Amino acid sequence: MPDSAAEAYDLAVLGAGPAGLAGAVTAAELGLSVALLAASDRPGGQFYRHPAPAVGATRPEALHHDWAAYADLRDRLAASDITRLFGHHVWAVTREAAGERWAVHALTGEEGPSHGHGYSHGHGHSHRPSPSPSPSPSHRPAQRPVTLRARALLLATGSYERHLPFPGWTLPGVVGAGGAQAMLKSGLALPGRRVVVAGSGPLLLAVATSLTAAGAEVREVVEASGYAGYARHPAALAANPHKLAEAARHGMALLRHRARPRTRSAVTEAHGTDRVEAVTVSRLDRDWRPVPGTARRVTCDALAVGHGLVPQIDLATALGCATRRTPDGVHALALTPLQETSLPGIWAAGETSGIGGAQLARAEGELAALAITARLTGARPYPLPRLRALRRRRDRMRAFAETMTAAHTPGRGWTGWLGDDTEVCRCEEVTAGRVREAVADYGARDTRTVKLLTRAGMGWCQGRVCGTAVACLSASDTTAPAPPDRRPLATPVPLGTLARLPSAGSAPTEPSPPTEGQPS
């Protein structure tokens, strides 16, 4: 295992989901030396998350569709000489002073008591962190810093859930839609027996289908947008018939289990004492404002709610990579036709460049590996027919992904769900009223100013859970959300690790500030 400056690779792949696995195995098969780093302890990422060995699951493939594609990548990984660094949390990437190599800084090992917070990266649900006692000298964190170096990087860090708060969303039993699916895939556990699935986006159908198949009673599937927006892009639909077939399978499964779909509706409040007991479902107008007189109460013991996914691009924006706004208003990396970012030597694949699903992620990972190999070896991308086919497939699926995100874009009126006493930032217990006060009384017009005035976004999740809500409450009708903040650390790091970094004489060069727009 590499430690400090011991070894340099041709390629370091960050993330072991569909994009990272496809990129790593393809590059290794083309002759590159590859290191694959992932925070999880096994390959697969969030999409191919599967039960831990202790659970004793005998058929993990039953929890997934397209398992054969993962099995192929897993087997190719096992047959390769790729250096597999699972359980490695990458907190920063820096450019070496000479400019020809990248240094990847990670933490590995078990976390100690001082890191016992409840925040979870990825598609899971975030619980309020509880204070932990300071560790005694005999119980200090066992994590240790690791640095490896590579000539090129492939960022395949995936995404996390977009949360839109509402009164009662902090009750036990309210989980992220992706978090409910992660519980089922990794622990064979249900969030409850009578579940309402709500939010917006195609993930809701997959989650509801998985829950019903596992024995839960899905009372309703509450979709805030609807599906009429897809019809405005017939070419994208016709070019991706497998997506229509997939949606039809989910629809038939839900009908068999009598799970009632409700479109143009949202859960606008959750009720309960010790845990959620019921939710209020309201009809929405086209701007997602609740229609007066339409509220009704649905009993349940769990609510799985999510409003799409947000690309996880912290490492890239810290380096200054250019971003673009996606049709649903979030920021993704802007890439060249061969998946390269605006910084030469860094490529990206999968949901870092926009939410599009596992098939698109695999195609982008393979395409990036071909381009990286050509760059590092000085050869033409090989083989050219394979390259052209991958680009056509990528472009076709990306067009559908853009259609999908546009169809499920949150309307600006959703902030009307929030009372002034509704918590927006759970880590720092900042309410919507305090954010509104910062905007109305103190002139805050962006998330950074709101953060300085209220501490919203300064907690353990670093704004991943509350960021969308704070941005929407901060923006006026005439301003668009600003590009994501540039954070020097992508994950919490002990101060001792920072103190042991190389001296200033070998410090990395300073990257240019992040920009918004397609690189030339």
Structure tokens at 291: 């229609």
DSSP state letter for 25: H
Whole-number Å distance between alpha carbons of 357 and 115: 32
Single out the residue of 509, 474, 514 nearest to residue 96, CA to CA. Answer: 509
Whole-number Å distance between alpha carbons of 276 and 171: 6
Q: What is the pLDDT of residue 133?
A: 35
Q: What is the pLDDT of residue 132?
A: 33
Block residue for tokens 């996880």: 312
Q: What is the pLDDT of residue 58?
A: 59
Structure tokens at 426: 């759970």
The pLDDT tens digits along the chain (520 residues) read 444 445 689 999 999 999 999 999 999 999 999 999 999 988 988 888 877 776 666 566 666 677 888 889 999 999 999 999 999 999 999 998 766 799 999 998 755 433 333 333 344 333 333 333 333 334 445 678 899 999 999 999 999 999 999 999 999 999 999 999 988 888 888 999 999 999 999 889 999 999 998 999 999 999 999 887 787 888 887 888 878 778 778 778 787 888 888 999 999 999 999 999 999 999 999 999 999 999 999 999 999 999 999 999 999 999 999 999 998 888 999 999 999 999 999 999 999 999 999 999 999 999 999 999 999 998 766 678 888 999 999 999 999 999 999 999 999 999 999 999 999 999 999 999 999 999 999 999 888 899 999 999 888 888 888 988 898 888 765 455 566 677 788 888 888 877 776 653 333 333 444 455 544 3
59-66 long-range contacts (CB < 8 A, ≥24 apart) are 60/185, 63/184, 63/185, 63/210, 64/185, 65/246, 66/358, 66/359
Angstrom CA distances, 108 to 36, 117, 127, stand at 14, 17, 23
- List, in sequence order, every beta strand (DSSP E) within 234-340: 260-263, 265-272, 276-283, 296-299, 302-306, 309-311, 323-325, 331-333
> What string of H, E and C letters represents the secondary structure of 131-199?
CCCCCCHHHCCCCEEEEEEEEEEEECCCEEECCCCCCCCCCCCEEEHHHHHHHHHHHCCCCCCEEEEEE
DSSP sequence for 430-496: EEHHHHHHHHHTT---SHHHHHHHH-TT-STTTTTTTHHHHHHHH--TT-PPPPPP--S-SS---HH
Answer yes or no: are the C-beta atoms of 153 and 93 closer than 8 Å: yes
Q: What is the pLDDT of residue 258?
A: 82
Q: What is the pLDDT of residue 118?
A: 33
Query: How many H-runs (helices) and E-runs (strands) does the chain carry?
Result: 13, 21
Beta carbons within 10 angstroms of residue 498's beta carbon: 14
Whole-number Å distance between alpha carbons of 208 and 210: 5
User: Quick one: CA dihedral 412, 417, 420, 422, positive or negative?
Assistant: negative
Query: Dihedral, CA atoms, 312, 314, 317, 321, nearest 10 degrees?
Result: -50
Structure tokens at 385: 């027919």
Beta carbons within 10 angstroms of residue 91's beta carbon: 21
Q: What is the pLDDT of residue 515?
A: 55
Block residue for tokens 């805050």: 444
pTM over 0.85: yes
Structure tokens at 415: 């902030």
Q: What is the pLDDT of residue 310?
A: 92
